[in-house]
Chain A
Amino acid sequence: MVGEVIYDSARRPPPFWEEWIALWAYRDLVRQLVARDIKVRYKRSALGVAWSMLNPLLMMVVLTLVFSHLFRWNLPNYPVYLLAGTTLWNFFAQTTTLATQYLVWGGSLLTRIYVPRTVFAVSALGTGLVNLALTLIPLGLIMLVTGAPFHLTMVFLPLAVILAAAFTLGVSLLLSSVAAVFPDIIEMYQVILTAWYFLTPVFYPTEILPAQYSLWLTLNPMHHLVSAFRGPIYAGSFLSPTGFLATAILAVGVLGLGWLIFTARADKLIYRL
């Protein structure tokens, strides 16, 4: 290390800023943790990377059989509709869960060596993004096989992913703030996730929800994020400008809130780990 690092406990920048500087200094650690997650995941399974492709394919086959034959929704290219929505939902669900597990794993480290506390949530996000990118391959395959059209609107996908990433990181940080003190929150969160999944049009069309749920749909951030991701792939549409603006404000707002609360409480969390 070059130069002197000077630390003065009486002259600290505000926590949200101090944490950002620290996180930037430890960016290689984030890279290492993401690489570790991906490697460990694929080392453990005999099928390796193929598994991350096969898993959504198999699930999609099952769900397609169940839903398109049992419920008879009139959705053309249902497999594409389903897989696009599920991809984004899984990204959110897996990343937020991983972030809390990380904090439990890293807890014993955090009490012994100094590591920026947001490293774990940010690494979980990195892992989630890599997995999301990998799922786009089977999605593309299915679109080719089923003859679904490729829309130009897919150029909006990165925007949708950025919004989803901001919201997911915000929720991860909020969740971590609580989970560090009460680990049972992680189990409760799994129940909430399941309920939330069924209440969000991921595997069923939005139209089948009765009119009285329209307020819920408007207030459900995951509905907007799933739509923003699925629209460009499935329907050749993207959020309306106002819809985009509202979703962006919400996603960035949750991220800001999560960052502020987590960094403000991080020093106290160490006592509880």
Chain B
Amino acid sequence: MMKPDRTLPAAVHLASEAGLTTEPVIRLDSVSVCFRVPLEPIRSFKEYAIRRIRGQLDSREVWALKDVSLEVKRGEILGIIGRNGSGKSTLLRVIARVLRPTSGRVRINGRVAPLLELGGGFHPELTGRENVFLNATLLGYSQREVAARFDWIVDFAELWEFIDAPLRTYSTGMVARLGFAVATAWEPEILLVDEVLAVGDQAFQKKCQARLAEFRRAETTILLVSHNPQLVRGLCGRVLWLDSGRVRASGDTDTITALYEEGMC
């Protein structure tokens, strides 16, 4: 099923060297995602009705992902690089079940937790405590699970003093800390990271990285999206390079990031 890929054997070699189990937790078979984009955006029913009558409903198809095949094994850390609009975030969304593939097949074996744009579900009027419960249930955890992990979350975010104050009184850094703590409170089988490693001050960033290292030890599979090859080089065992929705290359981190940097020049 996999597309022929020159650099793949290196990756397989790497994976087996690290003593990883061979069973893939993420499998994509020629996955494509197509957006139908109107030539001019129509945002109102009135406009739609008028255009419908005039027969002006032209749209073009945009393939955000085209024929992407991918296998990720348990405990692997896969970097996904590519320019803006190359389909990186779409790929994460397909894996997170936010988008359904237009064609192809996605198989996921394990719980997927997103670590993207933290704090999106926070409400300014509610207290930190209430927001922890709201945000964690948005991520699919039960109230009981949140209650059991609550102390850990506040410890990690270092926010005991303010936990019963409304969130609007928090600084941006405090909100980000709380968001990171909630999102990483549980160890999922699969973690999706969308360039959010720069959270809070230096000390807290160190803490975040230490937490990610714990995930690695727990054999969490991590997918890291970035357009920064430096970051990817430091963390990932394997890299997938997306270009206009297609897999340009995939394999060993150094080889691919070098190719990518060449291509950027």
CB of B43 within 8 A of CB of A182, answer yes
A113/B36 in contact, CB under 8 A = no
Q: Give complex CA distance A220, B99 in Å.
A: 38
Q: Mark B99-128, 1 if CB is under 8 A from A, else 0.
A: 111001111111110101100110101100
Q: Which among B133-141, B242-250, B252-260 touches the partner chain? A: B133-141
Say if the beta carbon of B189 comes within 8 Å of chain A: yes
Q: Are B137 and A184 in contact (CB under 8 A)?
A: no
- A228 and B143 CA atoms in complex are apart in Å by 36
Please indicate the chain A residues that have their CB under 8 angstroms from the CB of B104 in the complex.
9
Q: Which of B163-201 contact A (CB under 8 A)?
A: 166, 186, 188-189
A1 touches B141 (CB 8 A): yes
Which residue of B111, B114, B138, B141 contacts A5 across the interface (Cβ within 8 Å)?
Answer: B111
Of the candidates A1, A4, A25, A267, the one whose C-beta lies within 8 Å of that of B109 is A4
Indicate if the CB atoms of A270 and B99 lie closer than 8 Å.
yes
Cβ contact within 8 Å between A26 and B137:
yes
Q: How far is the CA of A108 from the CA of B138 in the complex (A)?
A: 13
Of residues 175 to 194 in A, which have CB atoms within 8 Å of B's CB atoms? Answer: 178, 182-185, 188
Q: Is A71 an interface residue (CB 8 A)?
A: no
Q: Which residues of A contact B43 (CB under 8 A)?
A: 182-184
**Chain A residues near B188 (CB-CB < 8 A):** 1
B108–A6 CB distance below 8 A: yes
Contact count band on A: 35 or more
Which of B44-52, B217-225, B226-234 forms contacts with chain A?
Answer: B44-52
* Chain B residues near A182 (CB-CB < 8 A): 43-45, 48
Alpha-carbon gap, A1 to B112, bound state (A):
11
Q: Is the CB of B105 within 8 A of A114?
A: no
Chain A residues whose CB sits within 8 angstroms of the CB of B140 once the complex forms: 1, 25-26, 29, 114-115
Given contacts A5-B110, A6-B109, A28-B137, contact A36 B98 (CB under 8 A): no
- Asked if B155 CB lies within 8 Å of chain A CBs, one says no
Q: Mark B129-159, 1 if CB is under 8 A from A, else 0.
A: 0100110011111110100000000000000
Q: Are the C-beta atoms of A36 and B138 separated by less than 8 Å? A: no
* B138, A115: Cβ atoms closer than 8 Å: yes
Chain A residues near B100 (CB, 8 Å)?
9, 267
Q: Which of A9, A25, A109, A185 contacts B45 (CB 8 A)?
A: A185
Q: Which residues of A contact B107 (CB under 8 A)?
A: 6-10
Residues of B within 8 A of A184 (CB): 43-46
One of A8, A110, A185 near B106 (C-beta < 8 A): A8
B97 an interface residue at 8 Å Cβ cutoff?
Answer: yes
Most buried by A among B111, B138, B143, B186: B138
Question: Given A1-B188, A4-B189, A28-B137: A114 and B111 within 8 A (CB)?
Answer: no
- Min Cβ gap A208→B in Å is 35
Interface-central residue, A7, A39, A40, by most chain B CB under 10 Å = A7
B28 to A, closest residue via Cβ = A9
The number of chain B residues with a CB under 8 A from chain A is 46
- Asked whether B160 is an interface residue with its Cβ less than 8 Å from the other chain, the reply is no
Q: Is the CB of A113 within 8 A of B130?
A: no
Q: Say yes or no: B114 contacts A112, CB within 8 Å.
A: yes
Contact present for A188 and B143 (CB under 8 Å): no
Indicate if A72 sits at the interface (CB-CB under 8 A): no
Is the Cβ of B137 less than 8 Å from the Cβ of A183? no
Q: Are A114 and B108 in contact, CB atoms less than 8 angstroms apart?
A: no
**Residues in B whose Cβ lies below 8 Å from that of A26:** 137, 140
Complex formed: what's the CA distance from A185 to B49 in Å? Answer: 12
Does A31 make an interface contact (CB < 8 A)?
A: yes
CB distance from A126 to the nearest CB of B (A): 14
Which residue from chain A places its CB closest to the CB of B133 in the assembled complex?
A32
Contact code string A3-41 (vs B, CB < 8 Å = 1, else 0):
011111110000000000000011011011101100110
Neighbouring A residues of B125 by C-beta, 8 Å = 39-40, 43-44
* CB contact between A110 and one of B36, B45, B98, B133 (< 8 Å): that residue: B98
Partner-A contacts on B (CB < 8 A)? 35-36, 43-46, 48, 93, 96-101, 104-112, 114, 116-117, 120-121, 123, 125-126, 130, 133-134, 137-143, 145, 166, 186, 188-189
The 17 sampled A-B contact pairs (Cβ below 8 Å) are: A1-B111, A1-B145, A4-B109, A4-B110, A6-B107, A7-B112, A9-B101, A10-B107, A28-B143, A29-B140, A39-B126, A113-B116, A113-B120, A114-B112, A114-B114, A184-B44, A188-B45
Q: Which 4 A-B pairs have the closest CB atoms?
A: A182-B45, A29-B137, A9-B106, A184-B44
